[in-house]
Amino acid sequence: MSLDRLIEKIVKTQNPSVVGLDPSLDLIPEFIKQKAYDKYGENPKGMAKAVYKFNKGLIDELYGIVPAVKPQLAFYEALGVEGVKAFVKTTEYAKSKGMFIIADAKRGDIGSTAEAYATAFLGGSAFQADALTVNAYLGTDGVKPFINTCKTNDKGIFVLVKTSNPSSGELQDRRTACGMPASPEAESKAVYEIMGDMVAKWGEDLPGKYMYNGVGAVVGATYPEQIKQLRAKLPNTFFLVPGYGAQGGTAQDLAAAFDKNGLGGIVNSSRGIIAAYKKENCDEHDYAKAAYREAIRMRDDIMKYVGEIRI
């Protein structure tokens, strides 16, 4: 299934990281915006053109060293139809460069609606993605239609388990009761553990060539104890790890996501990489090269804890 291709790309690049393409306008260099606005106007069309130009420059620098990109749908939808066009062009371009595409859309619905989302993102015609992030608050009904599409189209999903944000514990850390009718198992578990167990079960329907199946889990770098615990409990679940860098997660924090072969996780950085030129304070024309330098730095930082990655 689809995460096999991600794993193979990670091994090839020896880089278990993914660049989040979250192009909010304030991160895009002025020279790109100005050129687009001069040609198309300072309107959604001009903004969307700037977004695509920005992304294309990043992809051109990064595709040789980074296995995957993770465009965040919200930043494209914020520009309406023109933004969605920029999303389509971005994914088509990243695909043409051989990158694995994780559409970060956190979709989740039931029955024919979930089928329609699966068609949209994983069906291969509307939008180009190799994997999709999914919110499974609705339970199995909200996940099975995605899995069915993954099966026929060689795609994967990442289900939110323990998210990286400060308030993720409000619901996800709640401990469920032992011996109550709705949770007959003896052990008391947190909500995120229940979700992790479901993810592992769903994954059995999408076996992979290597250790990991096609139903991954989103587990935040900001919660190292939970990463460790979930890695031990979910040996066949691949982790998408947000929260590195800007949100405070360190390479050491997330090291436990990886197995002895250096597999098992891919770490996301969004603005840390795409807006590296701001932090470097270099010429903004140099934004893509700054992203390259930061991607290398991030790779080396993580690889200190991972060692050689092999299948």
Q: Which residues does the annotation mark as catalytic? A: 106
What is the distance between the alpha carbons of residues 17 and 94, in angstroms, rounded to a whole number?
15
Site membership for a copy of itself, residue 173 (CB under 8 A): yes
| CA dihedral sign, ordered 271, 4, 238, 75 | positive
DSSP state of 110: -
∠ CA 77-21-125, rounded to 5° = 60
Task: In angstroms, give the least distance from the CB of 47 to a copy of itself.
Answer: 11
Nearer to a copy of itself, 12 or 233 (CB): 233
Q: Phi, psi (5° rounding) for residue 239?
A: -105, 135
∠ CA 64-69-74, rounded to 5° = 155
| CA dihedral sign, ordered 78, 79, 84, 87 | negative
Which residues does residue 160 pair with via DSSP β-bridges, in sequence order? Answer: 218
Among 30, 38, 42, 141, the residue binding a copy of itself under the rule CB under 8 A is 141
Structural contact between residues 40 and 46, judged by C-beta atoms closer than 8 angstroms: yes
What is the distance between the alpha carbons of residues 307 and 258, in angstroms, rounded to a whole number?
10
Of 170-178, 250-258, 273-281, 291-299, the window that binds a copy of itself (rule: CB under 8 A) is 170-178
Site membership for a copy of itself, residue 148 (CB under 8 A): no
Site membership for a copy of itself, residue 34 (CB under 8 A): no
Site membership for a copy of itself, residue 84 (CB under 8 A): yes
Which parts of 97-126 interact with a copy of itself (CB under 8 A)?
106-114, 116-117, 119-121, 123, 125-126
Task: In angstroms, give the least distance from the CB of 138 to a copy of itself.
Answer: 5
Among 139, 207, 248, 307, the residue binding a copy of itself under the rule CB under 8 A is 139
What is the distance between the alpha carbons of residues 168 and 211, in angstroms, rounded to a whole number?
28
What is the distance between the alpha carbons of residues 6 and 102, in angstroms, rounded to a whole number?
10
Quick note: the x/- pattern for a copy of itself over 38-77, rule CB under 8 A, is ------x---------------------------x-xx-x
Task: In angstroms, give the least distance from the CB of 263 to a copy of itself.
Answer: 27
**Which stretches of the chain bind a copy of itself, using CB under 8 A?**
22, 24, 44, 72, 74-75, 77-81, 83-85, 88, 106-114, 116-117, 119-121, 123, 125-127, 135-142, 160, 163, 165-178, 180-183, 188, 190-191, 194-195, 198
